[in-house]
Structure 1
């Protein structure tokens, strides 16, 4: 993902710095399309950085269950960035095509502007859903992504073919112009034609030439047997969502495979990811399947002690609001001493009082502030004792 992001960043920088093409001719009209790509790259890079931070923290925590819980917390960010980078790579291919067209005068500028505006509007809803990080929206967007990429690929091929036809007509007109000017009797006739394009081939993507057989999109993630195996393991561990991974596999396979029934995954995807019980238990879900009415979310790092945790590194992407679990209402009230929170706070076994007591005791024994990893290790022990599942979800803030 990081390599893909760097390649896309380099291509966008090249387009922004070009003196001709999309950043030169009519830059005021087409420049915002490059800016749009840069804006999308920012949130993708931010989610990659957050996922990396969580993964690094997981590697520092000695408790295996907490390690897995942190990786599951990083998973939604990673899969949103993965899907977003695929869409951004598609947009980059359109930008490269526009750059070639504007640089070599091969297509109507007005028509190109209308096309680019239409393509951007097709991409925006999915990008917005992915950047929201809401599991339901991400899975719905991912389920629609193969069909969207397939449609955009068809649009790309149509536009490229129109450009190719325009280039052929231009070449014919140039030959005609030279023939007419060679005739002395018709030497007064002058054709106002654009200058011929440079001899270098028109390139799209990364080092790929626009040809009659189509263009491979070189800015996407490279898929290998190792990649598929890693995706399978991450799905089995509950870190990544199967619908999201299945969409990525379909797109990388170069075709849109339809499911055999309304809730089953395509056989090709199921075969690639394995057919273990973890995979069989997962289905492609829509908005209804994601559970819009959510149970209460419990902060395992108590909100009333937010400042205490912030002093020990729980800020930004590692905020205490990231460490919540969904519990049934009865269970949530039970660990807080019942329905009356004021009475519950007087019970030593109430979660907030108990966990803060344990953390303060650990600090007193260490003779210093605990690190994030040490705090999470202590919390993991008590989550097991209270039978609280280590499956973190983002909270709703203070």
Structure 2
């Protein structure tokens, strides 16, 4: 059930991203509008294309981790790999929301450049730069794959979309005012009428009744009432069941789901709380603690102070692991866990940090000995899944949770 839910979640974001890509391609192929003016606006189109590549990379890694989770036999390890996949789905979902909003601004700029010569090209260039600056920190936090940063960026997303909506309205109003000052009242009216067609969704969705299917959006567009809305992905009972499974399993964070739903349902200004799901969606998902609770992430969320990140596959043997398939999304830097400092010191020194690597039970020595012994017995190089199985058994022996986070190459 969870494997299928993860695959479906990846496909939903992929489908929405494909729609954004088509919109960007239409703009890139134009010689007029944003494609003209001596290529001045090319940097903004390239920014969109660059984000597409990053999001596709996240989705590709999420799919690879989901496949790896299905291939292992240890249930706890499979859940750990699914959570890693979920982190990338969350980052891709949030990034796609921002990118869809960026596409709306590019489409608006394209219409202004082609239809409204009375608005300064230089000013429009500055306007887009300001919007890009507003979005960039969120893209960075989401794509850091730091659980705390991804969650914080997602929780803040409805408010950010509200700010982008106001920016969109303000730009549109400045263009209208510029046209009227130039005596182009009819042209201004036509422009405003045309601009309502820039985005595919032109009216806010009604609030969801408690028993109604939930709706989650990725492609954001301007709706009525000044709310940035999402392209409709109506998922009814299937989506509810998928989100229930993923939230309860800890694969996807409830606050991330909440943020996506609030944006789609037009509740940017009506959110009941910074971390609460809207009432109708909460009732659809269920009232269990998994849905009510916010997954603990980061040092503060987990009650830790500067918790060390422990590489479960020793960094000094990176080349050894790479030869056995640990590259890219499965790089050993992806398999770190946060441990309390005392626990981290204990597994490296048997309770006495001064013993360090001289203790026979020290983690790095013990795990590498287990791996090499297994290869000697089999007479052949271990596969990636066989390595994971051995490491998982050692983690259980040392009471190390399989809540993987990304670590440093240093």
Shorter-normalised TM range: 0.7 to 0.9
User: Equivalent residue of 1:336, what SS?
Assistant: helix
2:320 counterpart of 1:326:
no
User: Equivalent residue of 2:326, what SS?
Assistant: coil
Classify 1:162/1:381 alpha carbon distance in 2 versus 1 (closer, same or farther; 3 Å). Answer: same
2:198 counterpart of 1:204:
yes
1:251-308, Cα deviation, whole Å (9 max, x unpaired): 1112226565677555345334321122233279999547673322222212232221
Classify 1:344/1:33 alpha carbon distance in 2 versus 1 (closer, same or farther; 3 Å). Answer: closer
Q: State how 1:89-168 maps to structure 2 within 5 Å.
A: 89-105=100-116, 108-110=119-121, 111-160=123-172
For 2:224 and 2:275, locate their aligned partners in 1 and report how far apart those are by CA, in whole Å: 35
2:261 counterpart of 1:267:
no
Give the CA deviation at 1:347: 4.4
For 2:139 and 2:255, locate their aligned partners in 1 and report how far apart those are by CA, in whole Å: 17
For 2:303 and 2:59, locate their aligned partners in 1 and report how far apart those are by CA, in whole Å: 26
For these two proteins, the number of residue pairs brought into alignment is: 374
Q: State how 1:334-353 maps to structure 2 within 5 Å.
A: 334-338=346-350, 343=355, 345-353=357-365
Quick check: 331-340 or 236-245, which moved more?
331-340
Q: Which residue of 2 aligns with 1:15?
A: 27
2:306 counterpart of 1:312:
no
Indicate conservation of the 8 Å contact 1:298/1:327, yes or no: yes
2:239 counterpart of 1:245:
no
Q: Which residue of 2 aligns with 1:50?
A: 61
Indicate conservation of the 8 Å contact 1:106/1:166, yes or no: no
Could you tell me the TM-score, scaled by structure 1's length?
0.80
Q: Which residue of 1 aligns with 2:309?
A: 297
2:43 counterpart of 1:35:
no
2:268 counterpart of 1:256:
yes
Classify 1:117/1:292 alpha carbon distance in 2 versus 1 (closer, same or farther; 3 Å). Answer: farther
Q: Which residue of 1 aligns with 2:9?
A: none
For 1:330 and 1:297, locate their aligned partners in 2 and report how far apart those are by CA, in whole Å: 12
User: Equivalent residue of 1:376, what SS?
Assistant: helix
User: Equivalent residue of 1:325, what SS?
Assistant: strand
Computed over aligned residues only, the root mean square deviation of the Cα atoms, in angstroms, reads 3.6
Larger Rg: 1
Indicate conservation of the 8 Å contact 1:204/1:215, yes or no: no
For 1:46 and 1:307, locate their aligned partners in 2 and report how far apart those are by CA, in whole Å: 23
Indicate conservation of the 8 Å contact 1:106/1:163, yes or no: no
1:63 to 74, 79, 94: 74
Quick check: 345-354 or 313-322, which moved more?
345-354
2:399 counterpart of 1:387:
yes
For 2:232 and 2:83, locate their aligned partners in 1 and report how far apart those are by CA, in whole Å: 22
Indicate conservation of the 8 Å contact 1:69/1:391, yes or no: yes
Classify 1:327/1:113 alpha carbon distance in 2 versus 1 (closer, same or farther; 3 Å). Answer: closer
For 1:27 and 1:149, locate their aligned partners in 2 and report how far apart those are by CA, in whole Å: 28
Classify 1:261/1:18 alpha carbon distance in 2 versus 1 (closer, same or farther; 3 Å). Answer: closer
For 2:246 and 2:46, locate their aligned partners in 1 and report how far apart those are by CA, in whole Å: 34
Give the CA deviation at 1:32: 2.0
Give the CA deviation at 1:172: 4.2
1:356 to 360, 368, 378: 368
For 1:283 and 1:66, locate their aligned partners in 2 and report how far apart those are by CA, in whole Å: 19
Quick check: 55-64 or 204-213, which moved more?
204-213
1:117-165, Cα deviation, whole Å (9 max, x unpaired): 3322322222222222222322222222102212323443454466678
Note the residue ranges of structure 1 that are not aligned, 5 or more in a row.
175-195
